[in-house]
Structure 1
């Protein structure tokens, strides 16, 4: 059974998500603030995190930043009633898989869970490894197809852009190669 951490300072949101997720067959752990969430994340194997962005003391963005800095890559769904472009960009760069606007419906939660399941089935790491093998074997067009798939799944995957840059470098297209290398840098990918 997959474990889901629900982090929100509003009890009603925690209760709503707990009920919805339990019905879908998930084991739920809740946290009322960012510090509590960090402790749970560091001591428990969590499969999915629903994280409120606006909380007292430690914001959801800071929690996300801290867990990414210690190498935890659990899928994170950011929840907010106060959506801003800056927050959306910051959270996307930190690897949030969904930016969920409050209020939301149980149908929206089910849709997000399906999206997360599809991500598992289309594991980026596996796609990247396969693309690297194809590049090594000179099968560049097949590698491009796989890398495009990885980018469609996770648009902030810097390594995919870097590998696309390498492919176009091999093909002698320095303009396209440079564009992909530039995008890889935007997502802080350094080989």
Structure 2
């Protein structure tokens, strides 16, 4: 079973994404902060990371930079409510950038693209 590390500080997003992704057959591990994501990166060894940008402490852009330093091969999908971050050159290190919405079809399609 493919492992996804879901990094988001919102409980409701964690719950929704976890349910949807587990229904798709993935194992989902959670982190609420960028710091926690870095800790879990080596323990979990995820096949893919879904990463929020706007989080307390270390934001998703900094977490992305550090994740890619540790494991440049792991695909990262940035998922944010803020479309303006898409213009940030630092976000280009991610494989995908998805704007959060209630419809998870785009997110699930991106996950399937990297975890066939």
User: Does the pair score TM above 0.5?
Assistant: yes
What corresponds to 1:20 in structure 2? 20
Gaps of 5+ in 2: none
Report the alpha carbon displacement of residue 55 of structure 1 after superposing the two structures with TM: 0.4
Report the alpha carbon displacement of residue 31 of structure 1 after superposing the two structures with TM: 0.7
For 1:17-166, list aligned pairs within 5 A. Answer: 17-84=17-84, 85-87=86-88, 89-92=89-92, 94=93, 96-117=94-115
What corresponds to 1:10 in structure 2? 10
Please list every run of at least 4 consecutive aligned residues from structure 1 whose deviation after the TM superposition is greater than 6 angstroms: none
Task: Give the aligned CA root-mean-square deviation in angstroms.
Answer: 1.5
Relative to total residues, which structure has the larger helix share, 1 or 2?
Answer: 1
Relative to total residues, which structure has the larger strand share, 1 or 2?
Answer: 2
Gaps of 5+ in 1: 119-191
How many residues get paired?
115
- Counterparts of 1:2 and 1:117, CA distance in 2: 7
CA 1:71–1:31 in structure 2 vs 1: closer, same or farther (change >3 Å)? closer
SS of 1:50's partner is strand
If the length of structure 1 is used for normalisation, what is the TM-score?
0.56
CA 1:86–1:107 in structure 2 vs 1: closer, same or farther (change >3 Å)? closer
- Counterparts of 2:7 and 2:108, CA distance in 1: 18
Report the alpha carbon displacement of residue 104 of structure 1 after superposing the two structures with TM: 4.4
Bigger relative contact order (CA 8 A; separation at least 6):
2
- Contact 2:2-2:115 within 8 A present in 1 as well: no
- Contact 2:48-2:115 within 8 A present in 1 as well: no
- Counterparts of 2:66 and 2:25, CA distance in 1: 28
If the length of structure 2 is used for normalisation, what is the TM-score?
0.90
